[in-house]
Amino acid sequence: MGQYCNLVRDTMIPYQWEILNDRMEGKEPSHAILNFKIAAGLAEGDFYGEVFQDSDLAKWLEAAACCLETRPDPVLEAAIDDVITIIEKAQEKDGYLDTYFIIGNQEKRWQNLYECHELYCIGHMTEAAVAYYKATGKRRLLDMMSRCADYIDQCFGREPGKLRGYPGHQEIELALVRLYEVTGCERYLALSRYFLEERGKAPNYFINEWRTSRKRRTFKNNMRVGEPDLIYNQSHKSVYEQKSAVGHSVRAMYMYSAMADVARITNDATLYQTCRTLWKDVVYRQMYITGAIGSTHMGEAFTFAYDLPNATAYAETCASIGLMFFTSRMLRMDVNGVYGDVMEQVLYNVILGSMSRDGKHFFYVNPLEVWTEASEKNPERFHVKPVRQEWFGCACCPPNLARFFASLGKYLYSYNEDTFYIHLYVSGQVSAKTEHGIFRLSVSENYPWGGEIEVILEEVPSENAKIAIRIPGWCREWKLFLDGRECGCPVRNGYVWIYGGLRPGRKIRLVLSITAELVAANPRVRDDAGKTAIRRGPVIYCLEEIDNGKNLSAIRLDTKHAFCLEKEEGALSLETAAVTGRGFRLNEEAWGEELYRPLGSEEKEITVRAVPYCWWGNRGPGEMMVWIRT
């Protein structure tokens, strides 16, 4: 995993910087930085891009700031400071900041919350400000966004003269919590809670806004002309009444994450139970085996329980990143191994798979089955791309990936005054200051391809300190060693607890047994009936055309024959991670030109080769399939 973090710092950050500055030939211009220059009076021109174009730069800034937190880089820091100067000049005197409206649309401010993403863009810039302050101690951007938040607080609320509105795309709610945590200003937390609790109340703000607006464009998500789709942005009910995930999947994840933050900070048991209900609905009824969510391209949305089509899945990258946000926040409230299980399922499959191994090509959509000809010729599959793209007109996913990997460390561990929790296994050094002292330890692993994790204690608060390491839910056999001797320690809520006599120099080694196995889906998932998927540890596998030939649907697996690593030794590569097993392929030549014939099959035995889903598409375009006939 460390190579991906280095990839962000060394490749993705500079690559995306060039794109944001429109210096990459042959790519659709971003205009994100130029929009700020125009708004600041430093350049001439019109606004270009999506109404949320500002957020591309904001997410990049957050990613760059997180990189600085782990390794100083004076050149990168200087570039950020220069951009902050431009942003500062673009900001209005009252604190407002959105280049789409500053450049020629001043009179339309706050008039179209349903569609125009003002609060969304401000939220992302606020998160960038918090990250940069934490990395460098510099307050300029933080003070700018605090002033912006103060202005929003003057505009929105239940008091007379204020708008009773809330964002069409949730994000500001998350950002306000983060701003509260670094500034201590209670108004920011209260404003976040207001945006959450006002949502969906009667009379519905978006219905009133829609009726009073002169112009509305029609969405392509089956809503009636002239009527806002309240389910689309989760404003159909109060957040306390929502029991199942619906609507645009990214918006839902951002909202649920903010709900979990507010529930934790305010000890709101009712809001916490709502979060648990929604999380369980997502994970146990609407999540793909790869950790992807959002089953339809119509509205980039959830549909209903167990509706998980493979070939037409939308499964947007940002939605799975949002699921990581939500799940990690649930873990902060309740240390339970099920949350870590989902986090690694998302991380090692859909998130890793959404970008190429060179860090310069990306998937916006992450299907579980690809038929290249259908992607080209079937309008219902135009959104499914057989190869990663260099950039997008709506480029929310690439900078979101950058900021996620740059901040990966906060998903790996947590701690309290006497216990250090290891949720995910990634090599590196970590230290944490608690009320009773310092935890400092180093972690090394060959995970997820191998099952050995070693933890060396370098400093602990006291001999009474505790280390809790998650045991993955998929793992049936494991052993724990302390200073080379096997030991038995209690397991609670999916974590093995090590305590008593902990001191610097002690070595903990966890050995997990990892084998390839076949997995079935709940029978209610109709697209996966009669099919199986291959899993090895947390890694989901797939078939690719380059290894198994065209028409992967003609292949069935021999479920009685074990899958094994193709090569047991060697440096980590696609070859050493691939698994092989026995299968059968229908004899397509025997059909001739017939379209239908009496039931009966002619098959030949074949060796089936499967590769990690996260690496598919790196060897050129071709068919791909996760769920295979049995």
Q: Which residues are catalytic?
A: 300, 396
242 Cβ contact list (under 8 Å, min separation 6)? 200, 234, 274, 278
| Secondary structure percentages of the chain, helix, strand, coil, to 5 | 40, 20, 40
Q: How many CA atoms lie within 13 A of 431 on its CB side?
A: 9
1 Cβ contact list (under 8 Å, min separation 6)? 408, 426, 427
Q: How many CA atoms lie within 13 A of 562 on its CB side?
A: 6
- The rounded distance, in Å, linking the Cα atoms of 328 and 307 is 25
Look at residues 405, 511, 502 and name the one whose alpha carbon lies nearest to residue 451.
511
- The rounded distance, in Å, linking the Cα atoms of 268 and 413 is 24
- The rounded distance, in Å, linking the Cα atoms of 198 and 180 is 19
Look at residues 303, 350, 297 and name the one whose alpha carbon lies nearest to residue 323.
350
Q: What are phi and psi of 224, to 5 degrees?
A: -70, 145
- The rounded distance, in Å, linking the Cα atoms of 503 and 506 is 6
The Cβ of residue 488 has, within 10 Å, a number of other Cβ atoms equal to 8
Look at residues 401, 394, 362 and name the one whose alpha carbon lies nearest to residue 51.
394
- The rounded distance, in Å, linking the Cα atoms of 424 and 412 is 5
- The rounded distance, in Å, linking the Cα atoms of 154 and 555 is 62
Are 529 and 523 in contact by the 8 Å Cβ rule? The answer is yes
As beta bridge partners, residue 434 has 437
